[in-house]
Chains A and B, each alone.
Chain A
Amino acid sequence: MTQLALVIDLNTCVGCHACVTSCKQWNTSGSAGPLHDFSPFEEDPTGVFFNRVQTFEVGEFPNTQTVHFPKSCLHCEDPPCVPVCPTGASYKRAEDGIVLVDYDKCIGCKYCSWACPYGARELDEQRQVMTKCTLCVDRITDQALPQAQRKPACVLACPSNARLFGDVHDPDSEVSTAIRERGGYPLMPEWDTRPANHYLPRHPTGPSNSSDEKAGRS
């Protein structure tokens, strides 16, 4: 069974928000869109995003680290948002484990968003349907694109290669290797949602995804 997921390297994320804007661009333009904005040029712009980059400070001054933390749907293996949906609009695809919303069946009751501890779902307040990260399902399955392009927009946009994409059930995949060898961890393990997305913890020194380091030139 395939379980597609993202693995996010907190060593190399620089907090540039390229994944946020590329996600918005792809998903507002494609088959899942549009993702509405309200008063985008006013004082209080608001709108739907599938992906957010947040910033945290870890440790006590002067020994602090700034951690840039991208957050999108974690495509849980046991997603609490799916069984609560009264219409079946929320579902987890059997073939690749992506959690999706069928916008034509969604009644906009918001119950699934209540049932997500991560705040990964955002209601499109114009279309009144629940939206969320699709792992760019319309892109990664598009046979018309060259193989190298069949990745989520955020992964292709990341300038520091902090986002890996692949099948976490294939032990030999890049993502499984990264999780295994670099201590990849899930968020809020206390709720037993078994997120498919993992995060790679900070290491003082050690491997990163940079090609310089892989080539031993660092």
Chain B
Amino acid sequence: MNPAFSVIFFTTLAGASQGLFLALFAVELSGLEAGRLIPWGAATSLVLAIAGLVASFFHLGHPERAWRAAMMWRTSWLSREVIALPLFIAAVGLWGAAHVWGWGYTPWIGAVAVLACAALFLCTAMIYVSIRFLQEWASPLTVLNYTLMGCASGWTLASVLAAMTSSRWALTLATGALCWTLAAAAGRWASLRRNARLKPRSSVQSAIGFDHGKVVQRSMGFGGGSYNTREFFHGKSAAFLRSIKWWFLLLAFVLPSALLALTPATLPWLALAFALQYLGLLAERWFFFAQANHPQNIYYQVVS
């Protein structure tokens, strides 16, 4: 597929927002003093989720009709996501407001937000999992990895905010971020291994129904390109794709893990870890889309 930056930013921003909220809610449930961490964290989570929502609008040809996308929740994971995202934003906003203005009931509001958060992780990933012929995506590992990578970046960001608000939570949250980052690295590695072994179920033979022998395309039927030649292929070389893979493994997992494990839990180091990790997750998401090999490309191989 040809990665769209609107969707790359939406999924990474929303993931970090969700992970950050979960980290903050874990802090709240511990019952220990957290100072200004929770109000500031809730505000940050809210801003990230809204930024993601704004980014997602750039994927639409008719953003003014976006409200219609909530209609088909019975069948469409995209529609379900369109409902889950505002629910999550509203719940986190309410939870943060309840903390700031001391309304009480914050564990209950937070629990509702956790449900919305889990639903959002599930819906976002299922949008990709449910397209069965995009074999690189059609795996439970996609749900697992969206969740783990969201938690990893969210926990890292929570540790940054803890350091900023001089909360004693920085080290604990950094340790949690390290655990999530290692888990996400394992999950992503598993999906890379799975995808490397995939056998495409469609072939040029099944695409045109000549099941025997050698079949090659001589002409896709037009010369100047079409939506089909632009939307479904990234247009980069295999070497470029491989290099992005190593960059995201390094930036999203290896370097943040090293920083979180080996450096003191102070603001500059944690901020560096988050910056590198977010950059790495942007590269990871680009790769996630680019690696998916759409069977329609079989019909669009040769111009002549």
Residue positions of A touching B, CB distance < 8 A:
17, 20, 39, 43-49, 52-60, 66-67, 69, 71, 80, 82-89, 105-111, 113-119, 122-123, 125, 127-129, 185-191, 199, 201
Contact = CB atoms under 8 A, between A and B. Distances in A.
Contact of A88 (B71, B201, B206, B217): B71
A105 B202 CA distance: 32
29 contacts: A45-B223, A46-B225, A47-B226, A49-B222, A52-B220, A53-B221, A55-B218, A58-B214, A59-B214, A82-B75, A83-B76, A86-B69, A87-B71, A87-B72, A88-B68, A105-B65, A106-B62, A107-B65, A108-B60, A113-B227, A113-B231, A118-B299, A119-B232, A119-B297, A122-B227, A125-B227, A128-B61, A185-B209, A186-B209
B62 A128 contact: yes
Nearest to B65: A107
Of all A-B residue pairs in the complex, the 8 with the closest CB atoms, nearest first, are A108-B61, A128-B61, A119-B296, A83-B75, A86-B79, A86-B69, A87-B68, A55-B219
A44 B224 CA distance: 4
B214 A187 contact: no
Nearest to B227: A122
Given A55-B218, A114-B294, A185-B209, A107 B300 contact: no
A106 B132 CA distance: 23
A180 to B, nearest CB: 16
Among B1, B77, B131, B221, chain A packs the most CB atoms within 10 A around the CB of: B221
Interface residues of B, number: 57
A88 B131 contact: no
A167 B19 CA distance: 53
Contacts of B223: 44-45
B71 A86 contact: yes
Contacts of B225: 44, 46
Contacts of A185: 209
A54 B72 contact: no
B261 interface: no
B240 interface: no
A107 B61 contact: yes
Contacts of A190: 201-202, 206
B194 interface: no
Contact of B227 (A48, A58, A69, A82): A48
Contact of A86 (B63, B82, B207): B82
A43 to B, nearest CB: 8
Contacts of A188: 202, 206-207, 295
B130 interface: yes
A188 B13 CA distance: 37
A168 to B, nearest CB: 16
Interface in B161-190: none
Given A46-B224, A55-B221, A191 B133 contact: yes
A87 B213 contact: no
Interface in B104-163: 127, 130-134
B10 to A, nearest CB: 12
Contacts of B300: 119
